[in-house]
Structure 1
Amino acid sequence: MKFTLVLALILLFFSPHSFAVIKRHDIPATAYQVAEPPGYLIDMPHDGHGVLISPSWIVTVAHVIFYDYQGKTIAIGDKSYQVAKVIIHPGYKKPDKSLTQGDAKPLMDFFKSNHDIALVQLTSQVTGITPIKLYSEADERGKTVKVFGRGSTGDGRTGEVKGTKSLKILNRFENKIETLEANWLSLKFDRPPYGLALEGIEGNGDSGGPSVIYKDNIPYLAGLVSWDYWQGDLATFKNGLYGNRSYQVRISSYIKWIRDTINNS
């Protein structure tokens, strides 16, 4: 999640409900930085990210849709495109504020039952950029994903550093999908010497960022950064520590909804 923790939790789902790239403490931060963003990575109008999946469609998490984006412009590559409409999954709900206090379990249960995904249609087709393919297989467990985001940073020993989100530095990390839970992929931030060379977890502002699986050097969109798991009192939540676990929207579970929505529009 992403809150100070009542605020952190509310921000977690009502705004940057996930966190930017949090890194290993024993690896230089520059090793995680990305000089050239992938073309399919989109910065949403208010906060968070989306992913270009066809010439005129972006997929993102529903909780980064803060207001009516119809008519707003989105920068993609070196051009600006106008939003025609936003379609939020009918199963998406915002959490009641009462869930953001006390024991974390009711909020975690709420998140797991939610459908945090939305589609954004553009008024014209994007040119000069190749959309990413969707990962449709149900075999994600154990696979390595590369995750991109411009949110807050920090390291696994001390967690997220407040104030770094405004820097908007593009980073990426790697992690292995540890568990599959219906509509979710789950990652765990392992402490060295365990984990991958660029092991990490998302930070504040990374919501909607892509989790990418590569097959034969071709990128496939497997997940979208969504929320972080916590046990115990929400007041003790600290984002970005070793051992923390994050949840990502599982694209393979929404293939039919995505395709039907696009075809019917």
Structure 2
Amino acid sequence: MKILYLLFFCFFSIGSDAVVMRHDIPPENYVVEKTPEYLIDMPHEGHGVLINSQWILTVAHTIFYDYVGKSLMVGSKNYEIESVHIHPDYSEPDKSLLKGDLAPLMRFFKSRSDIALIKLTSPVSGIEPINIYTGKSEEGKKITVYGKGATGNGVTGEYPDTKSLRVMSHFQNVIESAEGNWLAFKFDEPANALSLEGMHGSGDSGGASVIFEDSIPFLVGLSSWQLGHGDISTFKGGLYGTIAYQVRVSSYCDWILGVLDS
């Protein structure tokens, strides 16, 4: 089991609904009535996104070991994994980063490329893959983010024990920063928040961040990590004011196309 999995379990993980929500909005408002079929559950936790009839995009830290030969449920059918392609600039943190001051670990997270592609042995039929957003003007756009990981709210933070409930939910936020390989947004308090303002939590990794243009969904980001301060032992994820980081998919278009073409 990867070190980073344990780290996310301890940090970023009461109720029966996923994602971290506003405390003043009924949790059922965040539940997804019909899950988009391009959203894929990874073998143990986290998510992937169908971007091509035979390819799934996810964050690299959801790959805990060699997944070749395992199956993924896409729609109502199981498909076998043929190969896994992790970005060459991805690495796992040294154990020394998993204690004490969080600043070095945060710098490490920001420096790596947390993205991977999974190829299926056969094309998916009957399901429309989501289009990738290829522009560079993500800043200021409202996003809808999906996940079925740990839940909680902005006052209490998230609760790791709820991660096993795996209820597909969604939240909205506004991209405040689109720089380099990352998109960032803040979990605002109700006075400045969207009606479904929220934050991704433990188990939401790889969840799709989507914008809609003329009712067509475009994939802009993948849930990855939360910015933490202070000592690692006292950090609580999912509180109001927390900044979340998502993989900026547009920055990896060339790499994605290169892997697909190969």
Which residue pairs with 1:49 in the alignment?
Answer: 47
CA–CA separation in structure 2 for the residues paired with 1:206 and 1:24: 17
| Aligned residue identity for 1:91 | D
- Aligned-pair CA distance for 1:179: 1.0
Q: Does 1:261 align with 2:259?
A: yes
Q: Deviations for 1:132-157, whole angstroms, at most 9, x for unmatched residues?
A: 00001110001011000010111100
Q: Is the 8 A contact 2:11 2:235 kept in 1?
A: no
| Stretches of 4+ aligned residues off by more than 4 angstroms | 15-20
Which residue pairs with 1:177 in the alignment?
Answer: 175
> TM-score, with normalisation over the residues of structure 2?
0.94
Q: Deviations for 1:59-86, whole angstroms, at most 9, x for unmatched residues?
A: 0000010111111110111100000000
Which residue pairs with 2:6 in the alignment?
Answer: 11
Q: Does 1:158 align with 2:156?
A: yes
The residue correspondences of 1:37-116 to structure 2 (distance < 5 A) are: 37-116=35-114
SS at match of 2:247: strand
Q: Deviations for 1:195-230, whole angstroms, at most 9, x for unmatched residues?
A: 111000011100000000111110000000001101
Residue of 203, 206, 217 corresponding to 1:205? 203
Which residue pairs with 1:138 in the alignment?
Answer: 136
Which residue pairs with 2:21 in the alignment?
Answer: 23
- Aligned-pair CA distance for 1:10: 5.4
| Aligned residue identity for 1:77 | G
Q: Is the 8 A contact 2:101 2:231 kept in 1?
A: yes
5+ residue gaps, structure 2, are: none
Which residue pairs with 2:228 in the alignment?
Answer: 230
Q: Is the 8 A contact 2:11 2:237 kept in 1?
A: no
Q: Is the 8 A contact 1:50 1:210 kept in 2?
A: yes
Which residue pairs with 1:148 in the alignment?
Answer: 146
- Aligned-pair CA distance for 1:105: 1.0
Which residue pairs with 1:3 in the alignment?
Answer: none
SS at match of 1:226: strand
Q: Which moved more, 1:39-48 or 1:160-169?
A: 160-169
SS at match of 2:175: strand
- Aligned-pair CA distance for 1:11: 2.5
CA–CA separation in structure 1 for the residues paired with 2:7 and 2:85: 21
Work out the percentage of aligned pairs sharing the same amino acid.
Answer: 55
